[in-house]
Structure formats: C-alpha cells, structure tokens
Structure 1
C-alpha cells in the first residue's frame, strides 16, 4: 500500500486527506479484492475523476491499471504475499499516548484549510462506497455457493539405489521385475504407507487386499501416473476410467490399442492408394512387401478374432460389437476399457475392482482368462472367489506396510493366522522371560554378593529384541434394525409382465413370492432385467400386465448400486443423516453410523474424503435410519472390503425381516441366499442354491467357446 499511496500523491498532488484515506481504504486488501483494472476503475474511478479536472477518462483508467499492477504480489515472493516495508520504526505505546494527550493537535489536522474546488461531492462518494460494498458481497456469495469440496491430494516419496539410477539413465535396465523399495505415501496429513516395499516378479499375478481407506486404489494410481518410479521400458495400463463414447465401433475401439498394427495398416493403405493411382516407384513396392511381412509376423489377421473373443467373454454380443461406443452406458464402457487392456497385454496390468461392473457369467470368464495371463498383474479386489481363483500371490496392506504371501487368498488367510499365532506366542514368552528376570533383579538389587549377577541380568534385558504386542484389526460389525413379524402374504407377483414398450417385453408371466424369512438373490446377465424387477417389487415401476400384491405394513429399505454416487459429498456423515431425518439428537445419528462402522472422527469427515467402502457404510446407515422391515439390495458389495462383506452377510442372516438382493459375489450368495431368481430369455424362474446356477453358466460358456 505504501507504493500505491505514494503514486496517488504524485499523480494527484492536491488531493485532500480524507479522500486520499478513502481511496487507500478501498485498495487496502490489495489485488485479492479486484479481478482486473476494470474493477479498480469501477471502485474509485469516479472519485479520482472528481479530484482532477484536467485528466480524461482514459487517463483515469490508465492510473487504475497502474494501481492494479502495483497491488499484484511479487512472483518471487508469491507464497508469502506482497512484501510490505515500514518507512520508519513504530512505537505503539507512544502512539497510544499521543492519541490520548494530543487530541487538539489531531483535530487541527482535520480542520486545515483546503481548496474547496478539490472536494468530492459527498453523494458521489457515498454512491462509490455502496457500489464497492455490493460488488464485494456478490463475490463472497458466489464463492460460498460455487466453491467445491477441496480434497487433499496424495503424495509419495521413494528411495532409489544409485546403481538402478545409473542403469536407467544409460538405458541398460532391461529387467521385467519391478522393485519399489522404501517408499512412503501420504494423503494430506494422513500417512498411508511408511518405509514400504513392493516387489512384483514378472509373470506373477498379485492380489492387493486390505481394509477400506488404507490406500489400495491410491497406490495403483501412483504407480500408473509415475509418482512411484518403475523402469521406464515397462509398459503400464491401469483400468480406471471408462472409454470415451464416440462414433468408433466397439470392436474397432479394442483393435486400436495395438498401435503397431494400426500404424502398419495405415501405412499399407497409403502406399496401396499411391500405387493404384499410377505411382510406379519401385521403392513403394519394396515398402509394401516389408509391411506385409511385419503384419504377418505379428499375426495381424488374427487380431479381430482375438478382440471379438475378449468382447464376447465380457458380455458383448456380435451385434453389440458393431455398435458405436457412444451408444453404451457407463458400465458397458468400463467393460470396453477392460477389454482394451486385456487385448493390449501391457507389461504391468493394474485392475481396481474389475468384478464390480460384471455379471456372474462375465466374472467366471474373466477368472478363467486371467489364469493364463502372460505378464505381471496387480489387482485390487474384494471378491473372495476371484481372489481364490486368480492370484498367485497376495499382498496384504496394513499398519502402513505391505506384507507378501505366496498362494491365493485362502492360503493367505491360513498363513497369516498361523503367523499371528506364532508372533503372539513369541511375544508372550518374551514377556514372561522379562518378568522372571526382573523379579531376580528386584530381589537382589541391593545385595552386594549378587551385584555381578544383577548387572549381567540387566544387560541381558537390554539385549533382548523389543517385541510389540500383536495389533489385531478391529472386527467389522454391521447391524440392521429389528422388525416386527407380519402375517402372510407379504409380497406376491401374479402373471407379471413388463416392457418399456409394447413390442419388446423384458419378461412375461412372472409368478413369484417372498416372505419375512426370504433370502432371495436375483441373478442373470446384465440387461436381463434384474434392477427392473427390483423396481417393480418396490412399486417404482408398474407392471405392463399382471398384479403385484404387497402387505400394507411392508416398509422397503432400498440400496441401489448408484446409492453412493447420490450422497451429498460436501457435508460430513452426521450432517448427511441430519438432513435426511431432521430433529433427532446428534447422539442418535452417531449411534446409527457407529452400527455400520463409521465412528469417531470418521463420522465428522466430509463424505467426499471417505473411501468407496466407507461411503457405502454411510449409505447403509442412512437407509436403515427409516427402520425398514424388508431390504432390497442392488449390488451392495461394490466397494466393500472383504471383512465388511463378511459382516454384511452376518447382518443379513441375523436380520428378522425379508431380503431380496442382486449380487455377483459368489461367497455372499452362498452364505445368505436360500433361493435364486434367474432372469433371462424373457422370463424369471426360481431355482435352489448357487451350485445349480454356476453349472448352467459354465455349460453356456463352454457352448459359446466351441
């Protein structure tokens, strides 16, 4: 402000003091209050015009522009804001004394005679002040309404050996194994990994497991975007984003991943066109021969069939493969992204919850396909059956580190349990030994004859390795509300048919029923009508034909597969429940969240900062706040960790009301469901047990592969 003040005084030498103070007051917050020089002119332009009759409007605008430039912080010191220098020492005590004792002198400053021609019209000054006030209020309002939730970003640090750095710099590092050693990952103030090691041997398939919110997805993202360094010659593909919808055909979208094949075909097309147009250059003929040889070497003619097999396995019919990508929904575009990754076969494939977007048939196909994966695979999954089938190794993320185990998830659980038992036994044995030695020391500490023995025992204690007690992960417990019994019939579908238009019915003549004891899972291919059937059951859609009978006291609790996306991300979990069910004590909201594992500080974090699994728990808590007696759950396991899926299964078993769910998690279905409703071929039929359904799916896959 010193610079602006001096500049105003130089440009307007006869400006009166109270006017000068007003202008300085307007400019005191610096460039933060003004987006550009035009806003400076709007704030003080009219006032300055009144001061100087010899300056044009353009002159005043130039002066405002100069003032705006002066207020901008120096870039070299941008972090700490503009440098402000006092032109003399300030003694606050003497200033305060002067203010009290020399009021007469102070008054004399303000009653000096001034040239009345330089005075500003009071009404114009008031008008300028009102205009500035209105602008500032408008800006602060805009900031409040438009400001999105600002999330902390993840950061990483990593130690690399000089040998590896030199090899990388010279281009001599040709290893296919990946070693990321002694690295840290933090998310804002929270440390996710500290001094961790991640070693991936080429050709092995790794399953990364751990509780929700510990940083599994963050770790994959950091590897893919280069924040954690790996040898530059290793190609990485991270299936995280869905394919962008455009006019490209689905099968062509997959084929385009093979950039070598695409570039050869493009060059072959260009040369052929030149030859056909009459160009007889023999060099073109040689190039064409060479391109055909390269295409033959990479088996380019087999690529469309290979792409079609992958797309078919992931549920794309021959007709769908010839459709433009923009015609598919987000879930199908994610399948396309997965198909592209499987087709291109990178050196390191990163998959984050690949089964979330797939139906059971596609999951079984993917499990079989990945068992023959030729390069390195790192997959985050909470599907127990998938983890028992695909990985050759399990990486367990916990306590800010990663432990590696050979074998699938079942073997990992056994090994980990045995390891923890041994560690606990070792810890208890050492504590007992320490206690025994300490008793001897305490007993003979002041006995001169035993002084040497006591000293040797003290040294013995000092040399013992310090063992820490085993940190047991807290058990996840979910609890659905208790319900009162209802007399049957509870829910009945009689001759129900439905279609979004009369020409194409999704299913016809459905005759099914449910009771308060029902544990029903709806299964079938994507698009077979599973979610549609759920909406008919809850009355969100009306049948095209037939009748739906629902008990008058039946109260549905609906968990949709998009439930998490519909949460307000700008508030914390307590505020979210408060807005949906107002008027209850804070303790009740916290108790409800606590029954779904969202307790302590977690309940006070913004929803946007929670992991996918934690958001799901918040969605469950909100659903159950209405005390439903019949649960309708559409893909409830998406984003949940293995322990929470297990807890969800236990909660469903103990729930005293009825349950209908759509799920592709084989372990959960086997645990809780007594009956399966199979959607497909224009009908819905009931079968008992998952084994029969899996047998039907495997038969269908086998017939497709022939």
Structure 2
C-alpha cells in the first residue's frame, strides 16, 4: 500500500480503524490504472469515507479524492522508462545474439537479399501437420467411408511407484497379497480413460468392475494382466481373455496342464521309476527323491486333480464324452469355456474375468455363480449381467469420470448407496451455493459501511476458505429406439412339425416335431444349454437355414430384423459408423444415417469414428442401428446383451416393450428376460417346448439338475 494514501487518511480521519485503513488503501493501490478522474475515486470510496465522518461535507470528501488522484498521476510519471538514445541495428544485434548462443533462434535474422530465413525444423514440422490434415480430409468421403487401412490405437499406462515398496519387492521381502495401484493414468490412443486413479484389491475379496461402454474397463484388466501397471511380483495373475489354442490334447488334459507343479512332479516320478526299473541304476538318492516326489504329490492333492477338473468342466457344460475330445474339435465359444475352466482350476492369486457370462448358457451361469461364491483368492470381474453382479461380488468398483470409486456390497447395494451419495452431494452443493449467495449479498450490501467493515472482511475470508464444490454431473440417459411400425394381424409366424439336421447323414436331428407360433404381441425368450439348437432355430425362422421336414408360414407383410450373435463379424472394421449404413443403404442423406445411429446412442463425433476404434458395446449398438434401418416389424435377436453395459440393457428392455411388432430373442440375461418376456421356449432333448411359469420355473428345473449331479 502507498504510504502517501495512509498519511492522508490518518490525517483526515484519525478515528479510522486499521482494517478499514488497509481496505481503502488496497482499493486505491490496486485500481490506480482504472481511476481517470477524482469522481471515479469518489464513486469507489466516497461512501465509506462519509460513513467514517458523517459531519464532513461531500465537497470535502471529493477534495480528498482529488489528492489521491494527484498522487496516482505523480507516481505514474516517476515510473522508470528506458529511452533509446541512439539508432539500433536490429540485424547486427541478432547476429551478435546468435554468436552468443548458437542454439538460440531469432526472428530478426535477415539475409542481405531481404529474404526471410526460416527455421527448417519448424518448417518441416508445420508441413507434416498440414499434410496430415489434408490426408485426413481425403480419408473421409461423402458417407464417412475410410478407404485406407485403419491404424489401431494402443493402450498406455503410467504410474507413480513407491520406491520403498519396489525395493522390498525386488528383495522378496514384500509378502502381502493385497494389491495397491496408486496414482496411475490410463489412456487409449489420445483418449484419457483414467487420471490419478487408485485401485485397492484386498486379498480374498471379489470385485465387480462396472461402468459405461467405452470407458476403459477391459483396457484396465489388460494393463493389470500385462503388468504395465505395477503389482507385487509374487502375486500370480490370470486373465481369461483368449480362447484355448486347439490341438490334439483332450479337454480334461488341457485343464490339468495348468497345474504346472503337478505336471512337473508327475514327469519326474516317471523318470525316476524308469531309471530304477531299468536295473542299470541303483541309487539311494533316487529312492529318496522318489519318496519326496510322492510326498509333494500328496501335499498338493494330485490324486484329486482329475476329479476337480472334471467337476469344473461339467459345470461349464462339458459332458463326459466332450471332456475326452481334442481341443481342436471345439468351436471358439467352447474353447473360451475351456480357458475359463483352466483359470478356475489354476486358482491364481488374482483372477481377471471379462464378461465371463457372455459364452455361457443360464445353467452354466448358475453353476459359475455358485462356484465363485466360495473362491479363496481375489477376483476382479467385468460384467454387465445384473444378476451375476448381485450374486458374486463382495465389492463394486465404479469407473466414471476418469476415476475409480469403490463401494462395499453387491450391485444392488452399490446402486442404492450411489443414489443416496449423489443426492447428498447435490444437497450439499445446493446448500453451499445458497450460503455463498447469502454471504455475498451481505458483502455487497455493507461493503462501504465502516461500522460493518470488519464483518465484511471476515466474511470475504470465510468465502475464500470454503471448499470449492463441483455440481453433480448427471450421467447421460441411454435411450434405444426401434422403428415405429404397424402391428400385423395374426397369424404372423407359424412353425408346424419342423425337424432339422445339418447333414442328412447325421444320426440324430438337432430337434424334431417342433410346433410354435408368434404374433405382433409376442415377447418370446428361447433358453437352453449351449448346443441345444437355440441359434439354429432362429436361423430357420429368418430363412438362413432351410428344412425339408415341416412347414413355416410367414405373414406376407412380415419384415424380420435379425441381430446375429456374432454381429461384429459382419461389420466392416475399416469404415465409420455412418459408412456402415451408407454401404448397406446407399444414396440416402447423411443426416438420415446419423439420425438412425443417434437412435441407438451413437451420436456426435462417435458416429464418424471407425468401427475398429469402438468398444464391444458400441459395436453392438451400430449393429442394432443397421438392423433397424430397413424398418423391420418383427425382431429376432440372438444374444443382444453381449457387451452392452447395464444401463444400455435396461434401455434395450424398454425399447422392446415399446416396440409394436413381435420379438423372439435368445438371451441369458435374467433381468432382461424378466422385464420383457411373456413366453419362454426351452430347447433341449432334441425338441423345443413352451414352459409355464416362465424363467423362475426354468431355474428351478436347472437347480434340481445341478443338485442331482452333485
């Protein structure tokens, strides 16, 4: 504060307290560039000065303000200015600077011919950027098709590590089974997925990782599995991600091979026995080693391994004959089940599961839920199966807003806690905003009142100390919208005495004597074990498979929309979302493609991204948009919930219920089945039957079968 202002104030207003003195001095010093006249100063502090001395006239106060103005002007004249007292040769100066520091570049360097001298490295960089922009423009055609090969983005992780823990880990002194990954970032290409995130996994707990499609759940699991995020080296990690490679190894042996210690001990046992039985070697040390090997095998309960592997395989749908078949004879879905069986048999310290229920039927899901409830080590599972998340996890980790937030309990408890937490945060934010407004009103009202000056100052400081709360962001509501169609008069679809086998030489049909019907009001779910013919029945209905046994009668106005189980296989990875629709329905306005995609949550810049860059759930939405582009009035959906997040599955249920046409779907998602289905068809025992009592009755049958089989 300028001491001249203080001197005048103390001279004219000796009763003025220190706080008010500092306040007025601060206003005058801080705003000296804003005051052009004495009236400006009077407007700022005149009322305060009059309140200090009520007997002083306005003219007197204005005179004091003129004194303040004169001080400001004198101070501004005394500001030191550097004046050039001789001509300066800028070119020579630049050359001298270059000689002083060769690394320093100058914009003033001029050649004798007057041409600009340009930094070549910067020029190259600018030209490369320009070229990149031009190529990017050329890549996208009218319909958003990308003719060049798609460059797949990669995931990257960075982490702040604890030096003490790292040293302990290197020396083998860290024996804790808990996993603590602190202060880490995760990105996929240029998109930041997590920032300054923390993840704590306590040993023996079962964690469900949830969040919207495309936020990075699968990427996080992969980074942990690849140890790009540092975890203690003594903790074994197994990520069930890729299917088992097919060869001549039987299914049960493929599972047993996972126990490397058992395999090593059995191999060594054979070697020692062979050496002893040959009679050429009679070594006491070999006999002792054989005894130790037997003890080790007994210690790991090697004799029970085959039975344990068989129980796991049976629970996942492999009957006795299938367990003896070579792995190369199984399809991709069954090999994924084998990968899951191997993981369950291995019992790693940390088991990472990504959508394990996608490849399972309801019976296998029920078995897996029961099996994992007694799992002895740590599990981190990504799942969108609401019933699975209510049954298996002990904790939920919510990925949102580039953060990880942990909650105790299953998904149902998480949802309740999150809702209450958001309400509380919203109330706290609104209360603070109201409090801030009330305090600010007091400050504005009594800012120039000398009697309230100390109160004003204390309230200003109080506002500064208040924690800055951010408004609670509402998650965008997912909406899916099937086309508006007119319902058809019955009969819409009728199946009479249909039997089917893939080859005439097959000894047994997939099913026989099937009699079914559907209308525009139908909401039918088909359930049954894998291999029982669910997808085959759908392909017969949509006409992809034909049968010579029985009749299928379709309404002449029927337009079927078919969502295949492996929809991703039918999408061109090298085109944008808009391009997918443009390929199938060429010649339509670009706005129509984007409006259609927007009906399934693919809007804005996302609609112009390549299919290869999308998450599994986003690809599913593109496939749904593609299916509905032809405005079908009857939907046939094969596992539509695979890869969709919970919010999108809920939106799918609402969209199905709002649809005016009929729906037949194959699904293992219990929540969706209960929300939409009025009728249940069960595939099994080479037939298809309608079941009364719906899903609950079917589950009772499954539980009885599981209990009967032990």
What TM-score range do you get, normalising by the shorter chain? 0.7 to 0.9
Q: Determine the structure 1 residue equivalent to 2:229.
A: 228
- Which of 584, 587, 590 is the equivalent residue of 1:583? 587
- Which of 447, 451, 469 is the equivalent residue of 2:449? 447
Unaligned runs of 5+ in 1: 1-88, 97-143
Q: Could you tell me whether the CA contact under 8 Å between 1:499 and 1:544 is conserved in 2?
A: no
Determine helix, strand or coil for the equivalent of 1:172.
coil
Q: Deviations over 1:473-507 (max 9, x none)?
A: 10000000011121211100111111113432111
Q: CA deviation at 1:93?
A: 4.7
Residues 1:548 and 2:552 aligned together = yes
- C-alpha distance in 1, partners of 2:292/2:254? 26
- C-alpha distance in 2, partners of 1:391/1:621? 33
Q: Determine the structure 1 residue equivalent to 2:708.
A: 703
Determine helix, strand or coil for the equivalent of 1:306.
helix
Matches of residues 176-195 of structure 1 in structure 2 within 5 Å?
176-195=177-196
Q: CA deviation at 1:94?
A: 7.4
Q: Higher mean Cα deviation, 564-573 or 606-615? A: 564-573
Q: Deviations over 1:45-73 (max 9, x none)?
A: xxxxxxxxxxxxxxxxxxxxxxxxxxxxx
Determine helix, strand or coil for the equivalent of 1:175.
coil
Q: CA deviation at 1:222?
A: 0.2
Q: CA deviation at 1:92?
A: 9.3
Matches of residues 454-493 of structure 1 in structure 2 within 5 Å?
454-493=456-495
Q: Determine the structure 2 residue equivalent to 1:596.
A: 600
Q: Determine the structure 2 residue equivalent to 1:124.
A: none
Q: CA deviation at 1:95?
A: 9.0
Matches of residues 113-132 of structure 1 in structure 2 within 5 Å?
none
Q: CA deviation at 1:457?
A: 1.2
Q: Could you tell me whether the CA contact under 8 Å between 1:491 and 1:549 is conserved in 2?
A: yes
Q: TM-score, normalised by structure 1?
A: 0.79
Q: Determine the structure 1 residue equivalent to 2:138.
A: none
- C-alpha distance in 2, partners of 1:573/1:147? 15
Determine helix, strand or coil for the equivalent of 1:541.
coil
- C-alpha distance in 2, partners of 1:565/1:422? 45
Q: CA deviation at 1:690?
A: 0.8
Q: Could you tell me whether the CA contact under 8 Å between 2:146 and 2:575 is conserved in 1?
A: no
Q: Could you tell me whether the CA contact under 8 Å between 1:250 and 1:323 is conserved in 2?
A: yes
- C-alpha distance in 2, partners of 1:459/1:693? 66
Q: Determine the structure 2 residue equivalent to 1:322.
A: 324
Q: Higher mean Cα deviation, 161-170 or 418-427? A: 161-170
- Which of 501, 508, 514 is the equivalent residue of 1:510? 514
Q: Determine the structure 2 residue equivalent to 1:161.
A: 162
Q: Determine the structure 2 residue equivalent to 1:256.
A: 257
- C-alpha distance in 1, partners of 2:705/2:184? 47
Q: Determine the structure 2 residue equivalent to 1:621.
A: 625
Determine helix, strand or coil for the equivalent of 1:667.
helix
Q: Could you tell me whether the CA contact under 8 Å between 2:637 and 2:664 is conserved in 1?
A: yes
Q: Could you tell me whether the CA contact under 8 Å between 2:147 and 2:574 is conserved in 1?
A: no
Q: Could you tell me whether the CA contact under 8 Å between 1:394 and 1:406 is conserved in 2?
A: yes
- C-alpha distance in 2, partners of 1:299/1:92? 90
Matches of residues 191-206 of structure 1 in structure 2 within 5 Å?
191-206=192-207
- C-alpha distance in 2, partners of 1:302/1:231? 30
Q: Determine the structure 1 residue equivalent to 2:278.
A: 277
Q: CA deviation at 1:542?
A: 1.5
Q: CA deviation at 1:693?
A: 0.6
Q: Determine the structure 2 residue equivalent to 1:100.
A: none
Residues 1:307 and 2:309 aligned together = yes
- Aligned residue pairs, count: 571
Q: Determine the structure 2 residue equivalent to 1:426.
A: 428
Q: Determine the structure 2 residue equivalent to 1:399.
A: 401
Q: Determine the structure 1 residue equivalent to 2:173.
A: 172
- C-alpha distance in 2, partners of 1:156/1:532? 43
Q: Determine the structure 1 residue equivalent to 2:695.
A: 690
Q: CA deviation at 1:91?
A: 5.4
Q: Determine the structure 2 residue equivalent to 1:298.
A: 300
Determine helix, strand or coil for the equivalent of 1:152.
coil
Q: Determine the structure 1 residue equivalent to 2:392.
A: 390
Q: CA deviation at 1:282?
A: 2.4
- Which of 614, 635, 658 is the equivalent residue of 1:654? 658
- C-alpha distance in 2, partners of 1:647/1:145? 31
Which protein has greater RCO, CA pairs closer than 8 Å, 6+ apart?
Answer: 2
Determine helix, strand or coil for the equivalent of 1:195.
strand
Residues 1:611 and 2:615 aligned together = yes
Q: CA deviation at 1:153?
A: 1.0
Q: Could you tell me whether the CA contact under 8 Å between 2:146 and 2:574 is conserved in 1?
A: no
Q: Determine the structure 2 residue equivalent to 1:75.
A: none
Q: Could you tell me whether the CA contact under 8 Å between 2:158 and 2:184 is conserved in 1?
A: yes
Unaligned runs of 5+ in 2: 1-108, 117-144
Q: Deviations over 1:93-136 (max 9, x none)?
A: 5799xxxxxxxxxxxxxxxxxxxxxxxxxxxxxxxxxxxxxxxx
- C-alpha distance in 1, partners of 2:615/2:474? 21
Determine helix, strand or coil for the equivalent of 1:510.
strand
- C-alpha distance in 1, partners of 2:373/2:499? 41
Q: Could you tell me whether the CA contact under 8 Å between 1:365 and 1:701 is conserved in 2?
A: yes
Q: Could you tell me whether the CA contact under 8 Å between 1:237 and 1:341 is conserved in 2?
A: yes
Rate the CA distance shift 1:269–1:491 in 2: closer, same or farther, 3 A: same
- C-alpha distance in 2, partners of 1:485/1:94? 80
Q: Could you tell me whether the CA contact under 8 Å between 1:211 and 1:641 is conserved in 2?
A: yes
Determine helix, strand or coil for the equivalent of 1:377.
strand
Q: Determine the structure 1 residue equivalent to 2:528.
A: 524
Determine helix, strand or coil for the equivalent of 2:184.
strand
Determine helix, strand or coil for the equivalent of 1:577.
helix
Q: CA deviation at 1:448?
A: 2.4
Q: Determine the structure 2 residue equivalent to 1:638.
A: 642
